[in-house]
Structure 1
Amino acid sequence: MNILVVNDDGIQAAGFEALVKALSEAADVYVCAPDSQRSAKSHSITLGQDVTIEKTDFPRAKAAYKISGTPADCTKIGLQFFAEMGAPIDMVYSGINMGSNLGRDTLYSGTIGAAAEAALSGVHAVAVSVDDHEAVHFDVAGELAVAAIDLVYGRLEPSVVLSINVPNLPREEIRGIKFVPLGDKRFYDDKFHLVEGNRYTLSGQPGGFHAADDENDLAAVEANYAVITPLQMDLTDYKTLEIIKKWSIHI
């Protein structure tokens, strides 16, 4: 099996190296990653300007590229270039992200965006994240990533992105695994702040989050569970669609 590993933290990220190492024990791994940090790029691709694509060496990878583009660019480039060299990709893994991708984070996440590009290309995709921007515990996330190969490939629809989020804790402190939906009760307390002249920068923190149970991804990770959530690319609200079909609008 050929697995493409991509990310949004950049090719130098510790979580990225940990994921490549874990997956290399089960498959042939190929790498395509940004040359530096590209978080919160969502599913953006580079248009109207060139992307630099450079061959590089990466531990335990059969071949690797680092690029100047977005995480989704990495997926597009990896799928194309490795197929052209005779290694068509069977699965795409995105991560291990330094920081969780829970609830509404998935709308902004370059990690999810890179996996979504694979799903839109008809290739099985898994996104893996650890809930800390200074994460050091990658072993459980790596093991879940490897376990997902046989659970996802040929079993789930390629249009599904499987999102795995793991607390940044030693194995013995993780309470188990929950299969849960996205939570939507956390908001961001962020603003653009003046730096100098007409230059501003966005900064802030997630707002407070409190839940009575752990039956969504936000609450479950807060309660020290690893969580697995299937994501779909179809954004249609089918319930509301049936309502608006009854509207009296004419042209």
Structure 2
Amino acid sequence: MLRILITNDDGIEALGIRKLAEALLGLPEVEIYVVAPASEKSGVGHGVTFRSALAPSPHPFYDLPVKAWAVEGNPADCVKGAYHLLFDEETKPDIVFSGINVGTNLGRDIYYSGTCSGAREAVILGIPGVALSYDNWFDQENYGDVVEIIRPLLQMFCDQARGEKLVPEVFWNINIPHLPKEKIRGVVPAALAMNHYEDKYNLEAGGYWLTREYPDRSNPAPEEDYYLVQRGYISVTPVHIDATDRVLLEKMLEWPLVKQWNGQSNSQTGGKPNGDRQNEE
């Protein structure tokens, strides 16, 4: 039996998380747990709660045969809290699915997205994580054929989780066009788009409110998720949680200050290279 944990950032009563559970319940030999925010937490990024208590509360879930808890916290709190508080060492989740988000999480959206943080937190904890978002921002109550559309993808990820074939240190970001099943053109690997929003702050009651103008999608690069979803493809992006630029890291060894510091350290340690830190302890 594959143990699946579901979370989201739209809240436990959002329609998208119900659709995700329905799609997963159609798969064989799965056991599903839902741990999601008690209220909407869109745009919270990877925030976690330190200064108040987390108290997972059992919550009804659309009469579906799943166990569900609501948490007064963020998506990363839900995954982290579930991992440590609701499961013992023998019953940890085998995979985490986060979503289905209202609206896409394309390109740089992943840094703001609570949906993506749920999948990312899973990977940090050593569990495969998959984020799913649906391009229904302007038609939020209409999930159309999404259950049928995503079920084969969910099956693929579950099969790979059973075989421990999913790459560690990577979460998967999936974006689904808001189209009927017959108009979906396929599933394709996609790079993150380097989209740029135009931020505006409008003075209204109580202060300034952030509004965002969507980036120009008219001329994106053909390998990017924006381009592909716009043209009817489901985009799947592997996102590594190691954000270090290792090429630049090597070039930094040529910085004058770094070379000067290494030279000083070598003279003080009898010629021992300062960069060779693994043998210092």
Structures share fold, TM-score greater than 0.5: yes
| Aligned counterpart, 1:156 | 166
SS at match of 2:107: coil
| Aligned counterpart, 1:12 | 13
2:177 matched to 1:167?
yes
User: For the residues of structure 2 that align with 1:146 and 1:19, how far apart are their CA atoms?
Assistant: 12
Percent identity over the alignment is 35
Letter matched to residue 92 of structure 2 = P
| Aligned counterpart, 2:203 | 194
How many residues are aligned here? 249
Structure 1 residues 63 and 239: CA distance shift in structure 2, 3 A: same
User: For the residues of structure 2 that align with 1:170 and 1:62, how far apart are their CA atoms?
Assistant: 28
Greater share of helix residues, 1 or 2? Answer: 2
Question: Following superposition of structure 1 onto structure 2, how do residues 98-247 of structure 1 map, counting pairs within 5 Å?
Answer: 98-133=102-137, 134=140, 135-137=142-144, 138-139=146-147, 140-153=149-162, 154-184=164-194, 186-196=195-205, 199-211=207-219, 213-247=221-255
| Shift in Å, 1:119 | 0.2
Q: State the Cα deviation string for residues 159-179 of structure 1 (Å, max 9, x = none).
A: 210111110110111111111
| Shift in Å, 1:82 | 2.9
Letter matched to residue 203 of structure 1 = T
User: For the residues of structure 1 that align with 2:213 and 2:127, how far apart are their CA atoms?
Assistant: 34
User: For the residues of structure 2 that align with 1:212 and 1:64, how far apart are their CA atoms?
Assistant: 40
Q: State the Cα deviation string for residues 69-103 of structure 1 (Å, max 9, x = none).
A: 00100101222233149632111110111111110
| Shift in Å, 1:57 | 2.1
In the alignment, structure 2 segments of 5+ residues that lack a partner are 262-281
111-120 vs 213-222, which moves further:
213-222
Q: State the Cα deviation string for residues 47-80 of structure 1 (Å, max 9, x = none).
A: 1122342111224343110011001001012222
135-144 vs 28-37, which moves further:
135-144
Letter matched to residue 180 of structure 1 = A
User: For the residues of structure 2 that align with 1:238 and 1:210, how far apart are their CA atoms?
Assistant: 33
User: For the residues of structure 2 that align with 1:73 and 1:191, how far apart are their CA atoms?
Assistant: 29
| Aligned counterpart, 2:57 | 54
SS at match of 1:143: helix
Structure 1 residues 245 and 67: CA distance shift in structure 2, 3 A: same
Structure 1 residues 86 and 62: CA distance shift in structure 2, 3 A: farther
Q: State the Cα deviation string for residues 158-209 of structure 1 (Å, max 9, x = none).
A: 321011111011011111111121111x211222221235x22111221212
8 A contact 1:4–1:79 mirrored in 2: no
Structure 1 residues 171 and 192: CA distance shift in structure 2, 3 A: same
SS at match of 1:72: helix
**TM-score normalized by the length of structure 2:** 0.83
Letter matched to residue 188 of structure 2 = K
Letter matched to residue 199 of structure 2 = D
Structure 1 residues 132 and 212: CA distance shift in structure 2, 3 A: same
Letter matched to residue 57 of structure 2 = E
| Shift in Å, 1:107 | 0.8
Of 80, 86, 102, which residue of structure 2 is paired with 1:76?
A: 80
Letter matched to residue 236 of structure 2 = I
| Aligned counterpart, 1:29 | 32
8 A contact 1:189–1:206 mirrored in 2: yes
CA radius of gyration, larger in: 2
